[in-house]
Structure 1
Amino acid sequence: MPKILTLNNGVKIPQIGFGTWKVPNDIAAQQVYDAIKAGYRLFDGATDYGNEKDVGKGIRKAISDGLVKREDLIVVSKIWNSFHSPKNVKLVTKKILSDLGLDYLDVLYMHFPIAQKFVPIEKKYPPGFYCGDNGWEYEEVPLAVTWAAMEELVDEGLVKSIGVSNWSGALIQDLLRGCRIRPQLLQIEHHPYLVQKRLIHWVQAQGIVVTGYSSFGPKSFVELDNPVAIKATPLLTHPTIKKIADAHKATAAQVLLRWATQNGICVIPKSSKKERLLSNLNSDSFDLTEAEIAEIDALDLGLRFNDPWDWSEDPTYKTRIPTFI
């Protein structure tokens, strides 16, 4: 079983979880069930992934079959940009719980530090990357106001731990100055092409656990026709990663995951193949040397594949959204 980390509120979570981004609806329930059977206990989801009903089916089947108890699992979701207003924070959280068929969430993130115009659930849900009928539209809701509404979810027992996703250090520092409940987690894009070492060290020093997504770099984005990802050398076949993997008789995926976990970072890989499920889960069964970690760190290009700047083809879009990360 993977290492267990303790959040700053005392909640314990496994360092290696299963990510549900881009898991198709028709196989999501079975994949989640199989992952639980393989030993996974943390499942990372989000409102805009559009598969929470099916993820919930897999979780509930595993519980009803006696594979796990609800308290054995860490179930994660995220509030999408169009639900930042306090009245909509609780509204969407109850919708998430209804879709999952659960009574509470273990972790709830604010997905991006962007407040978009509210879109009623009955009109467009799940929202995906929907930005409003007129393209990108803002809603004037400060991040601290959304966070305060998330704190109330903890008070009511709907959520155990709360965190932020895709935030910069400056935004986190500002939140820490006025929050009642300190964030337990920060989730960021993290791979050898985007190391973000200073941000990670500072955040960890604040007692906040970092979770990295897209641990395999461009692989997650090639199928989305991301032009930067298509041009980038795949990390899973990168000579440096392959050389280190061969030295440890490990897979390239295991090396990429171990590079993160050895730096105290949680990871959330996914796979539909049983052998890869097990391989990813056992990626902390060896240690990289300091020299090998330095070699991987040196691949850093500051290359971000998940950038809101690139979400829209609207020619006026880039004049309307600020760079915040």
Structure 2
Amino acid sequence: MQTIELNNGVIMPQLGFGVYQIPNAQTKEAVYEAIKAGYRLIDTASIYGNEKETGEGIRKAVDEEIVKREDLFITSKLFILQAPEDKAKETIEKSLSVMGLDYLDLYLIHQPYGDIYGAWRALVSAQKSGKLRAIGISNFKSSRMIEFVGLNDVKPQINQIEVNPWNQRIEDEEWHKKYGVQVEAWAPFAEGRHDLFSNLVLEEIGQKYGKSVGQVVLRWLMQRGIVALAKSVRPERMIENINIFDFELSPADMETIAHLDMKESAFFDHDDPQQVEWFMNRMKDTEE
């Protein structure tokens, strides 16, 4: 497994397994199977509602001596209502307790809304106490990331954002490199939107190497130096997704993929008024 060194010296796997939208009843086994397949980076969030089951899958793998806890890199995230400093401190403790862990390897502010500065103080404090090894943000546009770096003594180690062939974030990647913040990609397959898995360009590239479209996309992200999260509940697909370290895309292939960039989200814009309204309503629903 390839690794990336973060700006605080912490080493993390470059390819990980995400549990977003995996039903609770399937999460424990999915996490366990992912670890068996070789994944060491596991990504969840408090709002996903499956931290407990993620922790159970981790414990099962550790108890069976498939892996040691220290070999894993476990991520969770703080949602909007949990952002005030005191609430963030409570939520970090709850995440640790629910998952049955003494520490988390990475903890992120999930959305760029609410009291993000109060939340950051809580994350920094938890990092200093050893409860969090690395801390970061998620879904922050480059302009917001730059502001956040400028107004805090401790800069984020990660910004987890949407990156896929339809939304390649080339300029954002350059800004993050300039400020020493690692880009981590969610939805690298764009959840199959715009018929990604049957795209003729990606299929043709894959055929040259005997690889699937999904493997080509993940390899493309690896070669860009971006951390990526893949998701599946099928063990055979987990194995396929992680089997990307035995080939390398040519510069010509990388350039061909670059031409697929639509420069727009396959999902939504975090600055769009309707989307912000949706998040605020989601926040109220969560509170109730």
Is 1:299 aligned with 2:260?
yes
| CA displacement 1:213-267 (0-9 Å, x = unmatched) | 1111142xxxxxxxxx4xxx21111111111111111000000111111100011
For 1:175, the equivalent position in structure 2 comes to 148
Deviation at 1:98, TM superposition (A): 1.4
Deviation at 1:186, TM superposition (A): 1.0
For 2:211, the equivalent position in structure 1 comes to 250
Deviation at 1:9, TM superposition (A): 1.2
Deviation at 1:312, TM superposition (A): 8.0
| CA displacement 1:87-112 (0-9 Å, x = unmatched) | 11111111111111111110000001
| Whole-Å separation in 1 of the counterparts to 2:90 and 2:134 | 18
1:1-325 pair list within 5 angstroms: 2-115=1-114, 141=115, 143-219=116-192, 229=193, 233-304=194-265, 305-308=267-270, 309=272, 310-311=274-275
Residue 289 of structure 1 aligns with an amino acid whose one-letter code is S
Residue 33 of structure 2 aligns with an amino acid whose one-letter code is D
Deviation at 1:207, TM superposition (A): 2.1
Percent identity for Structure 1 against Structure 2: 35
Residue 186 of structure 2 aligns with an amino acid whose one-letter code is Y
Q: Structure 1 unaligned runs (5+)? A: 116-140, 220-228, 318-325
Deviation at 1:182, TM superposition (A): 1.6
Deviation at 1:202, TM superposition (A): 1.7
Contact 2:189 2:217 in 1 (8 A): yes
Residue 299 of structure 1 aligns with an amino acid whose one-letter code is L
Deviation at 1:278, TM superposition (A): 1.5
| Whole-Å separation in 2 of the counterparts to 1:285 and 1:215 | 20
Contact 2:206 2:212 in 1 (8 A): yes
Query: Where is the helix percentage greater, Structure 1 or Structure 2?
Result: 2
Deviation at 1:163, TM superposition (A): 0.6
| Whole-Å separation in 2 of the counterparts to 1:218 and 1:66 | 33
Deviation at 1:146, TM superposition (A): 2.3
Residue 89 of structure 1 aligns with an amino acid whose one-letter code is A
| Whole-Å separation in 1 of the counterparts to 2:268 and 2:220 | 21
State the secondary structure of the residue aligned to 1:243. Answer: helix
Residue 157 of structure 2 aligns with an amino acid whose one-letter code is Q
For 2:284, the equivalent position in structure 1 comes to none
Deviation at 1:48, TM superposition (A): 0.7
Q: Alignment RMSD, CA only?
A: 1.8
For 1:123, the equivalent position in structure 2 comes to none
Aligned residues: 277
For 2:285, the equivalent position in structure 1 comes to none
State the secondary structure of the residue aligned to 1:256. Answer: helix
Contact 2:146 2:179 in 1 (8 A): no
| CA displacement 1:270-297 (0-9 Å, x = unmatched) | 1222222112112132111112111111
| CA displacement 1:126-161 (0-9 Å, x = unmatched) | xxxxxxxxxxxxxxx3x3332122111111221110
| Whole-Å separation in 2 of the counterparts to 1:265 and 1:82 | 29
State the secondary structure of the residue aligned to 1:77. Answer: strand
State the secondary structure of the residue aligned to 1:17. Answer: strand
| CA displacement 1:165-215 (0-9 Å, x = unmatched) | 000111111122232222111100010110110111220232221110111
Contact 1:217 1:234 in 2 (8 A): no
Deviation at 1:311, TM superposition (A): 4.6
Q: Structure 2 unaligned runs (5+)? A: 282-288
